[in-house]
Amino acid sequence: MSKELCPAFFTYLPFCPRAIQSSPSEQVSSMDRIPFFRRAFRRSPSEQMSSMDRAALIALFHSTDGANWKRKRNWNTDAGLATWEGVRLNHAGRVVELALPNNNLHGSIPEALGALSELKVLYLHDNKLTGEAGWRAKIDSFRVSPTR
């Protein structure tokens, strides 16, 4: 039995399901049935922007010792951003508010928060944060207390 390159898995297998051997168009159709390919290659611009928001929030989590926050419901999980503690989204699913006051954040404010291009409200006061937020000019309401 010879191995064939199986296009759905991009590897050599001792067999390859007939449904994905037929023709290139049928192969693409078969790949669409695999959730990873739909997510990875067929993402809308709003989904891509939401992924950038998620990455910025995860950077905040890691740079401020998120494991030791007082309140961290759904942070650093696959749950929707709307369910993350202190995060509010607009109708397009973009982060518009981040409110984590008095939450035991300590560390530096990551520059990655600048990627939250729709962020209008940022409340991180009463935490132990360092660093500058040079990108804050676009924010309507900004409250971060100095390190104590």
Provide the CATH topology of domain 45-143.
3.80.10
128 — pLDDT class (breaks 50, 70, 90): very high
Weakest-pLDDT range from 25-29, 71-75, 105-109: 25-29
Q: What value does the mean pLDDT take over residues 43-70?
A: 84
Q: H helices of the chain, where?
A: 24-32, 35-41, 45-63
- For residues 105 and 78, the answer to whether their CB atoms sit within 8 Å is no
The two tokens of residue 127 are 């935490």
Q: Which helix (H) or strand (E) holds 4?
A: strand 4-6
Q: Would you say the pTM of this structure is higher than 0.75?
A: no
Half-sphere exposure of 56 (CA within 13 A, CB side): 22
Predicted confidence at residue 17, as pLDDT, reads 47
pLDDT category at 50 given cuts 50, 70, 90 is confident
